[in-house]
């Protein structure tokens, strides 16, 4: 292999990563993108070069497929990372509780989109979510946690080892579902306002697609989102929400053990533990 060919390959690898940074662009719309995705999927040397280049930029390649292109996630402390603190601050909200509330909402969206291990493992499955469904799931979770805490105290058992987590669930339960600003808009500190922001954010990142009109319309999960949630499913916070049994169609078990790779995708691996805010995957865009 000549140095010129090596430089061409390096340029192609960088170009493929650049395509991946445009989450709404699909290979079907761009011939060069389509050809580079094919190279990534079929040429081991080129795939290694792309992944190595991505790591150097602070990115991780989650996978690549003809329908979605290349899916990327920002690594910890990457310049491309959207931190939960910045996400909350951009909504003109501050504080630890606000940060955790937004994290729980994103966690609930993921669990609602893929409530069963088989759903997350099936490349052909399309999850659906709505603001109303997400709010109902989280509030049902709050009720279950309240019942669990009451039963623990009544039985004389040791209090929960995660009081900070119970505190944030309680904060969500006390938050109004919807309230209006002076100019008649939905207030961002209401749960519906926070959920709407989460759904819009995920849509902008190519993780969801609008499937129904209206404030409480449905959204379809994309294959790109499925790759991200497979990373999220490695965390204990996701397991805890599913274990409450409030997500529709949920089944017993854990999503950690049954998520096979898409073609050309490395097996998912946990990078670091996650609290009930999305420090892993979904906020790294």
b or e along 8-42 (b: 16 or more beta carbons within 10 Å of the residue's beta carbon)? ebeebbeebbebbeebebbbeeeeebeebbebbbe
For the entire predicted model, the pTM comes to 0.69
CA distances from 239 to 34, 66, 107, 109, 225 (A): 36, 31, 10, 14, 18
Flag whether pLDDT at 73 surpasses 80.
Answer: yes
Instruction: Read off the tokens for 143.
Output: 């009720």
DSSP-assigned states of every residue in 17-55: HHHHTSTT--GGG-HHHHHHHHHHHH-HHHHHHHHHHHH
Flag whether pLDDT at 260 surpasses 50.
Answer: no
Cβ within 8 Å of residue 146, ≥6 positions away: 169, 170, 173
Mean pLDDT confidence for 70-86:
79
pLDDT digits (tens, 9 = 90+) for 203-219: 988 899 998 755 568 99
| Tokens 């490695």 -> residue | 234
C-beta atoms surrounding 160 within 10 Å: 13
Confidence of residue 230 (pLDDT cuts 50, 70, 90): confident
pLDDT digits (tens, 9 = 90+) for 118-159: 888 898 899 999 998 998 888 887 777 777 766 666 655 544
User: Could you give the percent of the chain with pLDDT greater than 90?
Assistant: 27
Q: Give the model's pLDDT for residue 104.
A: 81
Lowest-confidence region among 35-39, 43-47, 188-192:
188-192
Q: Give the model's pLDDT for residue 50.
A: 96
pLDDT digits (tens, 9 = 90+) for 80-108: 876 666 666 655 555 667 777 888 888 88
Q: Give the model's pLDDT for residue 94.
A: 59
Distance separating alpha carbons of residues 90 and 228, to the nearest angstrom: 23
Contact 92, 194 (CB under 8 A): no
Instruction: Read off the tokens for 1.
Output: 């292999």
Radius of gyration, alpha carbons of the chain: 20
């Amino acid at each position: 292999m000549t140095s010129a060919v090596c430089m061409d390959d390096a340029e192609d690898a960088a170009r493929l990563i650049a395509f991946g940074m445009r989450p709404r662009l699909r290979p079907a719309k761009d011939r060069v993108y389509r050809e580079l995705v094919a190279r990534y999927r079929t040429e081991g040397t080129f795939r290694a070069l792309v992944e190595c280049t991505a790591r150097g930029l602070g990115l991780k390649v989650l996978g690549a497929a003809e329908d979605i292109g290349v899916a990327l996630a920002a690594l910890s402390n990457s310049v491309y990372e959207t931190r939960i603190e910045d996400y909350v601050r951009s909504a003109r909200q501050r504080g630890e509780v606000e940060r955790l509330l937004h994290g729980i909402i994103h966690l609930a969206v993921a669990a609602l989109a893929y409530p069963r291990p088989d759903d997350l493992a099936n490349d052909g499955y399309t999850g659906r979510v709505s603001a109303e469904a997400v709010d109902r799931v989280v509030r049902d979770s709050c009720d279950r946690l309240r019942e669990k805490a009451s039963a623990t105290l009544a039985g004389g058992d040791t209090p929960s080892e995660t009081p900070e987590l119970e505190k944030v669930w309680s904060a969500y339960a006390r938050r109004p579902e919807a309230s209006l600003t002076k100019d008649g808009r939905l207030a961002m500190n209401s749960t519906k306002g926070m959920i709407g922001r989460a759904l819009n954010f995920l849509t902008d990142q190519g993780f969801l697609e609008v499937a129904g009109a209206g404030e409480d319309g449905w959204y379809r999960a994309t294959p790109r989102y499925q790759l991200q949630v497979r990373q999220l499913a490695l965390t204990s916070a996701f397991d805890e929400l599913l274990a409450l049994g409030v997500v529709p169609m949920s089944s017993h078990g854990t999503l950690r053990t049954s998520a096979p790779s898409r073609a050309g995708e490395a097996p998912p691996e946990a990078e670091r533990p996650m609290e009930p805010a999305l420090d892993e995957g979904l906020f790294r865009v």
